């Protein structure tokens, strides 16, 4: 089809959708719609992982980001009852400055990634590297230390969140049944 | 290639019809079962002994006036029930329904797709299933609906964690494969997984009850507090989709439990019985018998779901959260640790 393979077509369509939904996240005024567009963006990115033969990463991406984190975002936004009316309209100067700074960031990132297609792959390996078995083996042998460090980081964040979220112990002891 | 597409299309349509038909008759069976437990007759007027009741219910749902609240977000209001129904149905894609059948030298798996991450796929679909409820509850612009949606989301997230850990223990003891087909085939030769995972099964079953929003965990639609819960503003077939999807969820949860813990389409002494009947492995008859056995197991679990619903009262919300976080989560972690120890002595784990 027009000189492209099916994979290239899928890549193009998924990229287009991902960028479009990501833009919609920013442009919609309603916070709930923003979150839902972000979920769609995550699905597109999961599609990219599938194209890279990383099935485990794709499904875990959906379980963790779309299925848990975004649900909590939605949960908070619904509880606070945010909608388009409560969204404050920023001053025109603020918007111009924010737009300029964002554009410059984009410029820097495009510049930084320019020429990355010429880099040599270090861990090119086989196309099966993304399967659960291979991923688990690599994760628990070669990259065990960073993996454990990441889990300790998460644990610290968890304990911190509990400490902040903890209420007065007197109220808590009354509520136990 | 064309044959492959035709075969997959037949599988998809067949399983879709199976799901719809079984969910429709599950509604009738639920009412009959409740009537039996409460010593009355249940629906008996439509058709022979009430057999056409689901049809009458469906016609009623379609003919009712459809009301969309003016202040609601119209697009999301329609998206809610549709999404809930879609996520209910697509779980069935990885369930193996019967033994592969060999026709004309070609082996046909009676499963829509055998992906090697089937178990995580199930968790993923279960985790996005909550969007249907949340979107519907929020877009109704109704306090009760919103409360129901918020309850549903926190409940489903809480119970996904012990469910996932119970599944990890199951995967360790069933040989380390995430493909449902491999898990079922492993139980064909050996014992059913329930023998090695009794506690894991209990945790998984309780979590499945919570994930399908069935009693005693049906707080999102708790009518004594929240009118109708997340579907308060819904009417006509949109309400029908929500109610119907619950039965599809129940059917597929039963199928998944039967597949993971009770051997799926396998049954004790299957090979001896097939040999005695003179049936060759891979013949259509063997697949049909296996499919019947799986359906019988599913029916048994559906009865268990209903029995629990009509026997136990509903939890209070803090009790629900305490059960999830303070009982099931430590219990599932203990189960995981115990499984690792047991499997080490069985020789399935090597360090």
CA B87/CA A7 separation, integer angstroms: 26
Whether residue B11 contacts residue B110, with contact meaning beta carbons closer than 8 Å, is answered with yes
Among B153, B151, B144, B314, which residue's Cα sits nearest to residue B231?
B144
Look at A117 and B345; give whichever has higher pLDDT. Answer: B345
Residues A84 and A18 in one domain: yes
Distance from CA of A110 to the nearest CA of B (A): 33
Residue whose C-alpha is closest to residue B91's, from B325, B264, B253: B253
Tell me: pLDDT of B260 over 80.
yes
- Which residues touch B201 (CB under 8 Å, ≥6 apart)? B166, B193, B194, B257, B261
* C-beta atoms of B117 and A68 within 8 A: no
Residue B40 in 3-state DSSP? coil
Q: Same domain for A30 and A90?
A: yes
Residue A118, in any domain of the structure: no
In a domain, A120, yes or no: no
Mean predicted confidence (pLDDT) in B49-63: 84
* Residue A1 pLDDT level (bands cut at 50, 70, 90): low
What value does the mean pLDDT take over residues B131-151? Answer: 84
Rounded Cα distance between A152 and A135, Å, is 20
Interhelix angle for B329-346 vs B198-211, to 10°? 150
Query: Residues A136, A109: one domain?
Result: no
Residue that finishes a domain, picked among A62, A86, A113:
A113
In sequence order, the β-bridge partners of residue B102 are: B107
Which residues of chain A are within 8 Å of residue B160 when distances are taken between CB atoms? 67-68
Last residue of a domain, one of A113, A147, A164: A113
Residues A7, A79 share a domain: yes
Model pLDDT, residue B80 = 85
Kindly tell me the burial class for residue B337, based on how many C-beta atoms sit within 10 Å of its own C-beta (0-12, 13-18, 19 or more).
exposed
User: Are the Cβ atoms of A72 and B146 closer than 8 angstroms?
Assistant: no
pLDDT 10s digits, A70-83: 888 888 887 777 66
Closest alpha carbon to A78 in B142, B233, B160: B142
* Chain A hits for B126, Cβ within 8 Å: 67
- The rounded percent of chain B whose pLDDT value lies above 70 is 99
Same domain, A22 and A99: yes
Flag whether A126 is in a domain. no
Structural domain count of chain A: 2
**Interface size, chain A vs chain B, as Cβ–Cβ contacts under 8 Å:** 69
Separation between Cα atoms, residue A104 and residue A159, nearest integer Å? 37
Q: Please state which of the ranges A139-148, B136-145, B266-275 shows the lowest mean pLDDT.
A: B266-275
Mean pLDDT, residues B249-263: 88
Is B121 an interface residue toward A (CB < 8 Å)? yes
- Rounded to the nearest angstrom, the minimum Cα separation between B9 and chain A is 21
Residue-range definition of the domain harbouring residue A162: 132-177
Q: Which of A71, A81, A177 sits opposite B153 (nearest CB)?
A: A71
Q: Do B160 and A68 count as a contact with CB atoms less than 8 A apart?
A: yes
Are B253 and B211 a contacting pair, CB within 8 Å? yes
∠A85-B143-B223 over CA atoms, to 5°? 165
Highest averaged pLDDT of the listed ranges A27-36, B265-274, B277-286 = A27-36
For residues A157 and B3, which has the higher predicted lDDT (pLDDT)?
Answer: A157
Chain B residues with CB under 8 Å of A132 CB are: 116-117, 178
Q: Are residues A73 and A141 in the same domain?
A: no
Give Dmax (Cα) for chain A. Answer: 71
> What residue of A is the nearest CA neighbor of B72?
A83
- The question of ipTM being above 0.85 is answered as no
Residue B168 vs residue A121, higher pLDDT:
B168
Query: Judged by CB atoms within 8 Å, which residues 64-93 of B form the interface with A?
Result: 73, 76
**Distance of alpha carbon A64 from alpha carbon B161, whole angstroms:** 11
Q: Do A67 and B121 count as a contact with CB atoms less than 8 A apart?
A: no
Q: Does B135 touch chain A (CB under 8 A)?
A: yes
Same domain (yes/no): A151, A107: no
Find the helix packing angle between B143-173 and B118-128, rounded to 10°.
170
Q: What is the mean pLDDT of residues B47-53?
A: 81
At B182-232, the pLDDT tens digits run 888 888 777 777 888 888 899 999 988 888 887 788 777 777 777 777 788
Say if A125 falls within a structural domain. Answer: no
Q: Which of A86, A113, A140 is the last residue of a domain?
A: A113
| A56 inside domain | yes
**pLDDT at position A177, please?**
45
B321 or A173, which is more confident? B321
Any A CB within 8 A of B183 CB: no
Query: How far is the alpha carbon of B120 from chain A, nearest alpha carbon, in Å?
Result: 7
Q: What is the CATH number of the domain that holds A83?
A: 1.20.120.1200
SS (H, E, C) B201-248: HHHHHHHHHHHCCCCCCCHHHCHHHHCCHHHCCCCHHHHHHHHHHHHH
At B34, list the tokens. 């409740």
Three-class DSSP category at B101: strand
């Amino acid at each position: 089809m027009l000189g492209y393979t099916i994979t290239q077509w899928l890549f193009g369509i998924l990229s287009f959708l991902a960028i479009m939904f990501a833009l919609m996240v920013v442009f919609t005024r309603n916070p709930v719609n923003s979150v839902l567009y972000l979920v769609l963006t995550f699905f597109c990115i999961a599609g990219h992982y599938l194209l890279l033969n990383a099935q485990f990463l794709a499904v875990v991406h959906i379980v963790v980001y779309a299925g848990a984190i975004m649900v909590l975002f939605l949960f908070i936004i619904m509880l606070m009852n945010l909608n388009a009316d409560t969204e404050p309209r920023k001053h025109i100067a603020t918007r111009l400055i924010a737009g300029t700074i964002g554009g410059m960031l984009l410029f820097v990132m495009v510049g930084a990634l320019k020429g990355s297609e010429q880099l040599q792959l270090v861990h090119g390996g086989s196309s099966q590297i993304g399967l659960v078995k291979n991923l688990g083996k690599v994760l628990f042998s070669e990259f065990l230390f960073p993996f454990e460090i990441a889990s300790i980081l998460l644990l610290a964040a968890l304990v911190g969140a509990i400490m902040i979220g903890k209420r007065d112990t007197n109220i808590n002891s009354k509520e136990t049944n | 290639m064309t044959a492959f597409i035709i075969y997959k299309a037949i599988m998809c349509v067949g399983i879709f019809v199976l799901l719809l038909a079984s969910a429709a008759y599950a509604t009738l069976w639920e009412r009959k079962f409740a009537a039996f437990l409460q010593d009355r007759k249940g629906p008996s007027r439509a058709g022979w002994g009430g057999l056409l009741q689901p049809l009458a219910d469906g016609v009623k749902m379609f003919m009712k006036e459809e009301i969309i609240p003016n202040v609601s977000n119209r697009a999301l209001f329609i998206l809610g029930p549709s999404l809930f129904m879609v996520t209910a149905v697509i779980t069935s894609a990885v369930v193996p329904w019967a033994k592969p059948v060999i026709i004309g030298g070609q082996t046909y798996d009676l499963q829509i797709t055998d992906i090697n991450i089937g178990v995580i796929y199930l968790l993923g679909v279960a985790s996005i299933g909550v969007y249907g409820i949340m979107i519907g509850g929020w877009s109704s612009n109704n306090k009760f609906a919103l409360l129901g949606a918020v309850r549903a989301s926190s409940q489903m997230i809480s119970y996904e964690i012990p469910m996932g850990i119970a599944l990890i223990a199951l995967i360790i003891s069933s040989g380390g494969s995430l493909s449902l087909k491999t898990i079922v085939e492993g139980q064909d030769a050996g014992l059913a997984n329930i023998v090695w995972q009794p506690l894991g099964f209990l945790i998984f079953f309780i979590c499945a009850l919570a994930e399908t929003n069935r009693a005693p965990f049906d707080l999102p639609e708790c009518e004594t507090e929240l009118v109708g819960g997340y579907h308060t503003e819904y009417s006509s077939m949109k309400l029908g989709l929500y109610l119907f999807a619950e039965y599809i969820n129940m059917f597929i949860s039963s199928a998944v439990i039967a597949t993971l813990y009770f051997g799926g389409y396998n049954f004790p002494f299957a090979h001896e019985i097939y040999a005695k009947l003179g049936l060759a492995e891979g013949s259509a008859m063997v697949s049909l018998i296996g499919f019947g056995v799986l359906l019988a197991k599913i029916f048994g679990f559906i009865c268990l779901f209903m029995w629990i619903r009509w026997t136990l009262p509903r939890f209070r919300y803090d009790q629900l959260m305490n059960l999830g976080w303070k009982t099931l989560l430590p219990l599932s972690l203990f189960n995981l640790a115990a499984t690792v120890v047991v499997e080490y002595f069985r020789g399935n784990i090597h360090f």
